[in-house]
Chain A
Amino acid sequence: MTAAALRSRDLPVDTQRLLWTGAIVVAATAPHWASLVLWIPALLAAAVTWRVAVALCGWPMPWRALRLVLAFAAFCGVLFQYRTLNGVEAGSALLVVMVALKFLESQTQRDQLVLIMITYFLMFASVLTERGPLTAAYLVLLVWVTTVALLQLGRRGPLLPSGMTARLAGRLLLHALPITVVLFVLFPRLPGPLWAIPGSTSSGASGLNDTMSPGDITDLGLSDEVAFRVEFDSRPPRAGDLYWRGPSMTHFNGRTWSMLQGGRRGERVKDSTEYYGEPTQYRVMLEPNGRNWAFALDMAREWSGDRNLRMGSDYQLGTFFGGPSARRLDYEVTSFIDYSAREPLTENERNLFRNLPEDSSPRARALAASWVTDQPSPQQVIDRAMDYLRSQPFQYTLTPPALGAQPVDEFLFETREGFCEHYASALTVLLRAAGLPARVVTGYQGGELNGIGDYYIIRQSDAHAWTEVWLEDRGWIRVDAVAAVAPERVAIGSGRWSEARDTIAGAVLRNSWLRQTALLWDAVNTRWHAWVVGYGPELQRALLESLGITDLRRAERWAVLLGLTVAGSVGLLLALHLYLAWRQRRRAQVDPAARYFAAFVRHLTRLRVPPRAPGEGPQAYAVRASAVLPQAGAAISTIAALYLKARYEPDPERTALTELRACVAAFRPS
């Protein structure tokens, strides 16, 4: 490193400038490499290599015709690969290609400044797709390096030493930081996009799907991916009550459950619900799930946050602003653990929830029929079904055998091994066969408490399915078949349930520092997303309210925020101006010659020369110092003479001052 630095100082200025440009080009494109098609980083590497070789090894510059052909081919390549030039991914690819080609032909200062502009855009493109705290840290580093390059490449004279420029750039960024914070906090945000955003629908795979086919899955992989996080304002409910509602499955074709498509109105379900007991208030920080699903604890009564959040006809919350959500979503919910969801069902609707395919599950139908011969109450039917599941040797396992043509019958009467989906499916079929309207509800159950950040993490591995059955007098009630078979799964959650079974490894994993570190990192990440990435109109409104500015319409709020932004920035700039002036004047008030001589005296004091007495003339002092340091006597008297000359004699071109400075700097008594 030092050898390279030494060598780089000997390079011609143009080459140094080129190397700086190359460095920021490589650094700014780095976050994009992984997401690009292979030929684009390859093109970049080739271009950088060639151009640097031109400067260092005397290769010929690429010919103009070649550059034109390359530019055309690369442009067509991007168009062919991405089918568009619009959107973040294609845009980034195009920017990287532009950077490569522009660097290949760069020669003048103008070219280099254009490249700096493109690298700024590249950084911007990378923060549109990556949002973690590490990306932000890399970004700050990158902005710093780019600012150093900007300072160097903006010069017309020879380049400054890198360390000095790095400090200068750091100071500029440090001065810019307060303004950045003020702008970030106060600049008014929009609740939705200005125009439609193309692309990027693939992100956010969910543990939940819009269909459910329990017989097809033989190994349920438990993904540690986070579905959402929850921070309780009030006391959190017991783990066994943490049912996070997701999509409900109503249609069953004998093998696959699927969601009901349209046709039912959403408003009435909430109005018909009654809530009891203490409310539970919490904030949900939802990861993008690629769908418009949002999750809440059963049963939600009020929710804030996104004004586009609504409750659907199956009691599930969802976002309704157009396409699927690629964004994180934050919202506050008030739920009640005790509720009765007395949705009035018409006869048609009751039939919809009793519907089973004609030829499916004959043995299950027979079993259910045997329960209803004595005209039991619906609750008795449910009890009988649960008793059946409890009394037979059912096993909860994540690796069930595959099921054949009649999956429900095979599960209920032959294999008797399965996970939540099998049980929810089988119980719902049994209850429907017994004439009760029922459906499968998917969602998440439980959650892991992150003790460091004091919030719950709900992972894809917490995905769960249960049954809801509709009773004439009580509405929809939840019946969880797994609670009958493996109650500990409901009590502690499936992730830890599987760990608990694998005792030794589980114990190690639970307590290891690795897990603690992971939890800590998750806490940092969560705060980051809650306060930085999730910062938007809602938090701004809360900020204004905390300042006592309430009851404003949106336009008024914007005006207030904009006014605060301007006032804050102007105030900070004024402070910066005063600081810069003060800093410049701080030492300039003293005569420069006196300052150099004072530095020299301080140096001598360290060499055990008694300090200069007040009123002691420089020459008298020099004599005294020479007595202590006879070997440096000549140098000391020279400096004293130069000081007198620089301070008291006319010295229009400051030759004496310059010489004094040089002599003081060079003073090294042996």
Chain B
Amino acid sequence: MPLAAARAIERWAASWAHRRQGADPLAVALQRRRIYILPTRFGAVFGFMVFAMLLGSLNYGASLGFTLTFLLAGLGLVVMHHCHNNLLGAQIKFFGATPVFAGERAEFRLGLGNDAATPRYEIELTHRKHAAGPVDVPQCGMETLKLGVDTAHRGYVKLERFTVATRHPGRLFRAWTWVHMDARCLVYPKPAPPGLPLPDTGGTGVGSRPNHGDEDFAGLRGAAPGDPPQRIAWKAYARSGLLLLKQFAGGDREPCLLDWDMLPGLAVEERLSQLARWCLDAETEGRSVGLRLPGVAVPLGHGPSHVAACLEALALFEAPP
């Protein structure tokens, strides 16, 4: 119960902070007004201990007792300022997040930048239950942390609010700030379990396809890691110095144009899942793939970026922006 109350208070405080400081851009430097600080439980015990020492010193009239008490009290106060300063001016940047399938954990790459002449120690990021760090950022350096967020549905998952916090030095205080960035990660529909074979649609339905295979040259595109080396346009490379990949219409296998109406009787999400599975299957089988959804169409094509485009179309199908 106290824990739930603490959570509620924190939520309330965070939304108050949001109203106060507004939404943040994707790169933000932490200003004085938005850094909050409170003693940790250990810090509270430390404070209580100093108070007990003060009472003892008063009672015994012990000057060295006072000296120790005041040295520790001074240390506590100084630590508070160092803790606050450890966060002050730090830069938080959103570097991006690789799309994942629903049910996987989205990883938001966040950079902790330090322009100051002194290192920043033990900075951690937390988002709900997930935490990243703590990490030390050297002077004029940058560290990248990955903040994981569990996904359940396709579409965009947002990093609505995360906390940047530090307990350095000595864990007596915790300085933190809430960051509200429009950082989002694309979530593809969870692919249906494999099993259902690819529909033999004959692609566009133009009848028997010519058996030209690789000879049916359709154009060039930039090569990406993982592309088969035999399709690299070496002559073009010799001319321009750019690695290009030869693309062929259709390829040696039949193209596969996936249509929304191929899966009657399935609910929207299940259809999208099955279409996602087919897109992946088609790519592994080396067939080019196209998508036709109500209101959206992806032309035939293949390669990782093409599959990503297909999956994105599926992910954002009739989804709120």
Contact at A131–B63, with CB atoms within 8 Å? yes
Interface string of A121-157 (1 = CB under 8 A from B): 1011001101100011001100100010011001111
Specify which of B46, B81, B95 is in contact with A573 (CB 8 Å cutoff): B81
Assuming the A-B contacts A117-B49, A154-B168, A183-B73, are A172 and B82 also in contact, with contact meaning beta carbons closer than 8 angstroms in the complex?
A: yes
Interface string of A549-593 (1 = CB under 8 A from B): 000000000000000000001000100110011011111100010
Contact with A along B78-99 (1 / 0, CB 8 A): 1101100100110001010000
Question: Once bound together, how far apart are the Cα atoms of A131 and B81, in whole Å?
Answer: 31
A-chain residues with CB within 8 Å of residue B124 when the two chains form the complex: 156
B75 on interface, CB distance cutoff 8 Å: yes
B140 and A661 contact, CB distance less than 8 A: yes
Stretch of A307-315, A389-397, A533-541 on the interface side: A533-541
Q: Which B residues are CB-close (under 8 A) to A61?
A: none
Instruction: List chain A residues, Cβ under 8 A from B115.
Output: 588, 592
CA distance in complex: A160, B136 (Å)? 10
Q: Please report the C-alpha to C-alpha distance between residue A580 and residue B140 in the assembled complex, in whole angstroms.
A: 16
- For B172, list chain A residues within 8 Å (CB): 154
Which residues of chain B are within 8 angstroms of A635 by Cβ–Cβ distance?
none
Check: B67 CB closer than 8 A to any chain A CB.
Answer: yes
Chain A residues touching B, majority SS = helix
With A176-B75, A583-B117 in contact, do A194 and B122 touch (Cβ < 8 Å)?
A: no
Q: Which residue of B46, B59, B65, B116 is within 8 Å of A584 (Cβ)?
A: B116
- Residue in contact with B117 in the complex, picked from A151, A173, A586, CB distance below 8 Å: A586
Comparing A369-377, A498-506, A636-644, A650-658, the segment that makes contact with chain B is A650-658
CB distance from B72 to the nearest CB of A (A): 7
Stretch at the interface among B50-58, B199-207, B253-261, B286-294: B50-58
Cβ of A39: which chain B residues have Cβ within 8 Å of it? none
- For residue A128, which residues in chain B have a CB less than 8 angstroms away from its CB? 56, 60, 62, 64-65
Across the interface, do A536 and B77 meet the contact criterion of CB distance under 8 Å? Answer: no
Please, which residues of chain B bring their CB within 8 A of the CB of A136?
Answer: 64, 67
Q: Most B CB atoms within 10 A — which of A117, A160, A580? A: A580
Contacts A121-B49, A584-B116 known; A532 to B63 CB distance under 8 Å? yes
- Digit string of B112-142 for contact with A (CB within 8 Å is 1, else 0)? 0101111001101000000001111000111
Contacts A136-B64, A653-B144; is A584 near B118 (CB within 8 Å)? yes
CB-defined contacts of A586 to chain B, threshold 8 Å: 117
- Complex formed: what's the CA distance from A126 to B55 in Å? 16
B117 touches A172 (CB 8 A): no
Give chain A's interface residue range (CB within 8 Å of chain B). Answer: 35 or more
Contact B59 A195 (CB under 8 A): yes
Whole-angstrom CA separation of A121 from B45 in the bound complex = 12
B42 at interface by CB-CB < 8 Å: yes
**B73 contacts which of A135, A168, A179, A585 (Cβ < 8 Å)?**
A179
A193 with B59: CB separation less than 8 A: yes
Assembly CA distance A121 to B63 (angstroms): 16
**CB of B140 to closest CB in A, whole Å:** 4
Query: B39: which A residues are within 8 A, CB to CB?
Result: none
Query: Is the beta-carbon distance between A151 and B169 smaller than 8 angstroms?
Result: yes
With both beta carbons as reference points, the residue of chain B lying nearest to A124 in the complex is identified as B53
Given contacts A194-B59, A584-B117, contact A155 B168 (CB under 8 A): yes
CB distance from A427 to the nearest CB of B (A): 42
Are B140 and A652 interface neighbours, CB within 8 A? Answer: no
Chain B residues, Cβ within 8 Å of A653: 95, 111, 142, 144
Q: Which residues of A contact B122 (CB under 8 A)?
A: 155-157
Chain A residues with CB below 8 A from B88, complex form: 581, 584
Q: Which of A147, A172, A180, A577 contacts B67 (CB 8 A)?
A: A180
**Can you sample 11 A-B contacts with CB below 8 Å?**
A131-B63, A143-B72, A151-B168, A156-B124, A175-B78, A184-B67, A194-B55, A581-B88, A584-B89, A588-B117, A588-B140
Interface residues of B (CB under 8 A from A): 42, 45-46, 49, 53, 55-56, 58-75, 77-79, 81-82, 85, 88-89, 93, 95, 111, 113, 115-118, 121-122, 124, 133-136, 140-142, 144, 167-172
Q: Which 10 A-B pairs have the closest CB atoms?
A: A176-B74, A154-B171, A179-B74, A592-B140, A127-B64, A587-B117, A183-B70, A584-B116, A150-B170, A194-B59
